[in-house]
Amino acid sequence: MPPTDSDPVPSPSSSSSSSSSTEDAASPEASAADQAVTARIEAVLTAPGAPFAVVRADHGPLVYANGPRTLREFVEATWAFGDQPFLVAGERVCSYGEFFAAASALARRLTGTYGLRPGDRAVVAMRNCPEWQIAFWAAQLAGLIAVPLNTWWTEAECSFALDDCAPRVLLVDGEQLPKVEAWGVNAGARFVIFEDAATGAERPGDGAAGGVGGDVRLPEKAERYADFPEPDPLEAPPEVDVRPEDDATIIYTSGTTGRPKGAVATQLAQTGAALNPRFQAAASALGRGVVPGQGPAPVTLMTFPFFHVAAFTGLYGAMATGGTLVLMREWDADQAVRLIREHQVTHYAGVPATALQLLASADRAGDGLESLTSLSTGGAAAPPHLVARLTDRHGERIEPRNGYGLTETSGGVLANFGAAYRAHPECVGTPTPVTEVRIAGAEGEPLPEGEVGELWLRGQSLVRGYWRDEAATAAAFVGGWFRTGDLAVVRDGRVAVVDRIKDVVIRGGENVYCMEVEAALQEHPDVEEATVLGIPHPVLGEEVAAVVRRRPEAGVTAEELQAHVGRTLAAFKVPEHVLLTHEPLPRNPTGKVLKRTLRGPLREHLGGGGTGG
């Protein structure tokens, strides 16, 4: 729903703030001064008539008073950037003008030739390539609900999501086509098949029956995008009525703890998500004494897969300013260093693991990353030592950023950057003006200061619920608040996430927060990455166990790591069992460690006798 005509309201604070259990790096006086500066900057940006003024909508959450109300409005403004480069993929460069013409032409085909109507679902299943953006924004210009599919999924996982959302059109590349073709043919859905992002072929393989390319027949109701007429740059998108309260996207959760759920964001929620990174960029600029919006447009190395909400945060920020996205088909740290140098990349966006690999690769190559001005991480918890490594190597020239967001928040809603991040690396930052924070007890009650509780969020960018899943929606959304499932504390407006509720190890009645132990392990110079989980114990209930990947050639032992953790944490938090490995830890596409897949190797390890080395 659009905002009411009520007066702008003050920027939100937590309904109940809590103190962190760890000491802040800065003194109380410095923290108070930082908080005052942050408050002044936010007051300037959110004042009545300012770009990020906030009002209370008639249905409860805070919303931005200005700015677009639908993604169609948002993307139409990018037409003004004309010949400025938008998407760079290898040798290909797609300008904003070319992008908008192509998206408009495809939108007209979806509504005209295919007869699709607002509310119909359009699946987008491709690796990161310019056509992904053309397909997604064509769906928005046509008033459809875009459904990005995880390209790491198997055919069975894709079929589950397709059964759930029942799309009428599948916008896919050749690599993803085999995973969705049978479902689409059986359902009578339309296909638009794009060239494979890597090979240029519309279907990998040998051209078996049912494939595409050459003279081989297309699937039923399928067309090749390459066969479409050249887009007319002067032709407008189709005339469709898109309202703020209409559904814009269904993005499926990662499914690390069960079946994926389709999180449904309205148009107004997604435009809130589009304005959030702009507010954070403006606040960052003012904090550095720079006038927001000045200087050249950013050039961002995009390493997040487009189907993930973390990618949307960077995408929206770039599109709002006429910035350029340099794309990678798959992660390679050495290639990333070369792309940053070749394209004079100013902004890096990725999960913490790839950011650390980037810094290591740059060190090996003797590359100073001279063009880089911002290194931003998301999608998984950033280890506290990441910002220290960045500062030690590059000083304060590259601004560090991390934050917090979920599929259900349509991207980042908390951010920590610059000096505040360096002073408080354990935090995920402060909320955007339209995001309210509550630290809640077991019954949802606001907890008194100093207690750990579940992080609840409310705001414009939150999804309205889960697609056709009333039970899951009712369990996660309470009175307009979203229960994140994360444990957190708040100090001076800064949120620190302690752990996932389900990841807490309860050892003999004592709570052990896995993230705290993981941070201690990762501070050891021989540790590349580490994860902590609970394993059953007949007396204590659970014991603390760790799986640690050592750096190449490192010889640290399990006992040495246990002693290292014991120097900073209580004895009951020290892992009783440590499994050492030189293999990367299993992760999902967003960088989160898949702990469930490590329980088997841990059981085998324990059967072989204890901590081991």
276 versus 37: which is more confidently predicted?
276
> Does 324 score more than 70 pLDDT?
yes
> Does 7 score more than 70 pLDDT?
no
197 band by pLDDT with thresholds 50, 70 and 90: very low
* Residue 1 DSSP SS3: coil
- Cβ atoms of 92 and 301 closer than 8 Å: no
28-69+262-500: which CATH architecture?
A: 3-Layer(aba) Sandwich (3.40)
Closest listed residue to residue 180, CA positions, set 139, 226, 121, 228: 121
591 band by pLDDT with thresholds 50, 70 and 90: confident
Distance CA(228)–CA(491), nearest Å, equals 56
Using N-to-C axis directions, what is the helix angle for 333-343 and 352-365, rounded to 10°? 70
Distance CA(511)–CA(453), nearest Å, equals 13
206 versus 537: which is more confidently predicted?
537
pLDDT of amino acid 214 = 47
Mean of the pLDDT values across residues 160-188? 96
Mean of the pLDDT values across residues 378-388? 84
Closest listed residue to residue 384, CA positions, set 200, 234, 518: 518
28-69+262-500 and 97-242: identical CATH topology = yes
What values do phi and psi take at 9, rounded to 5? -105, 160
Mean of the pLDDT values across residues 158-186? 96
Mean of the pLDDT values across residues 207-235? 75
Mean of the pLDDT values across residues 3-18? 40
pLDDT of amino acid 64 = 97
Instruction: Check residue 564 and give left, alpha or beta (phi > 0: left; psi -120 to 50: alpha).
Output: alpha
pLDDT of amino acid 206 = 38
- pTM score of the predicted model: 0.84
Distance CA(113)–CA(102), nearest Å, equals 16
pLDDT of amino acid 502 = 82
Spatial neighbors of 506 by CB under 8 A, at least 6 apart, are 512, 534, 541, 542
pLDDT of amino acid 293 = 81
pLDDT of amino acid 517 = 92
Distance CA(452)–CA(440), nearest Å, equals 8
pLDDT of amino acid 378 = 86
* Residue 355 DSSP SS3: helix
> Does 386 score more than 70 pLDDT?
yes
Closest listed residue to residue 9, CA positions, set 66, 72, 58, 56: 56
The residue count of the chain comes to 613
> Does 1 score more than 60 pLDDT?
no
608 band by pLDDT with thresholds 50, 70 and 90: low
Spatial neighbors of 526 by CB under 8 A, at least 6 apart, are 550, 551, 554, 555, 556
594 band by pLDDT with thresholds 50, 70 and 90: confident
pLDDT of amino acid 196 = 59
> Does 419 score more than 50 pLDDT?
yes
pLDDT of amino acid 28 = 62
Which pLDDT tens digit goes with each residue over 239-277? 999 999 999 999 998 755 567 899 999 999 999 999 999
123 band by pLDDT with thresholds 50, 70 and 90: very high
498 band by pLDDT with thresholds 50, 70 and 90: confident
DSSP 521-563: HHTSTTEEEEEEEEEEETTTEEEEEEEEEEPTT----HHHHHH
Distance CA(370)–CA(386), nearest Å, equals 19
DSSP 160-208: HHHHHH--SEEEEETTTHHHHHHHHHHHT-EEEEEPPTTTS-SS-SS--
Provide the residue type at 111 as one letter: T
Which pLDDT tens digit goes with each residue over 432-459? 999 999 999 988 999 877 789 999 999 9
201 band by pLDDT with thresholds 50, 70 and 90: very low
> Does 14 score more than 50 pLDDT?
no
- Residue ranges per domain, the chain? 28-69+262-500, 97-242, 505-607
pLDDT of amino acid 58 = 80
589 band by pLDDT with thresholds 50, 70 and 90: low
Distance CA(27)–CA(300), nearest Å, equals 35
- Cβ atoms of 62 and 299 closer than 8 Å: no
pLDDT of amino acid 600 = 84
Mean of the pLDDT values across residues 334-360? 94
Closest listed residue to residue 89, CA positions, set 333, 355, 329, 265: 329
Which pLDDT tens digit goes with each residue over 515-549? 889 999 999 999 999 999 998 888 788 899 999 99
> Does 211 score more than 80 pLDDT?
no
What values do phi and psi take at 276, rounded to 5? -55, -50
Q: What kind and span of H or E run contains 247?
A: strand 247-252
- Cβ atoms of 466 and 263 closer than 8 Å: yes
Distance CA(263)–CA(408), nearest Å, equals 6
Domain 97-242: top CATH class: alpha beta
Q: Minimum mean pLDDT among 56-60, 347-351, 569-573: which range?
A: 56-60
* Residue 225 DSSP SS3: helix
Instruction: Check residue 451 and give left, alpha or beta (phi > 0: left; psi -120 to 50: alpha).
Output: beta
Which pLDDT tens digit goes with each residue over 50-94? 999 999 988 789 999 999 999 999 999 999 999 999 999 999 999
Please list the helix, strand and coil fractions of the chain in percent, rounded to the nearest 5, in that order. 35, 25, 40
pLDDT of amino acid 590 = 67
Average pLDDT, the chain: 88
Percent of the chain past pLDDT 70, that is, above it, reads 89
Percent of the chain past pLDDT 90, that is, above it, reads 68
513 versus 31: which is more confidently predicted?
513
Instruction: Check residue 609 and report its DSSP letter.
Output: T
> Does 5 score more than 90 pLDDT?
no
CATH of domain 505-607: 3.30.300.30
Distance CA(317)–CA(441), nearest Å, equals 35
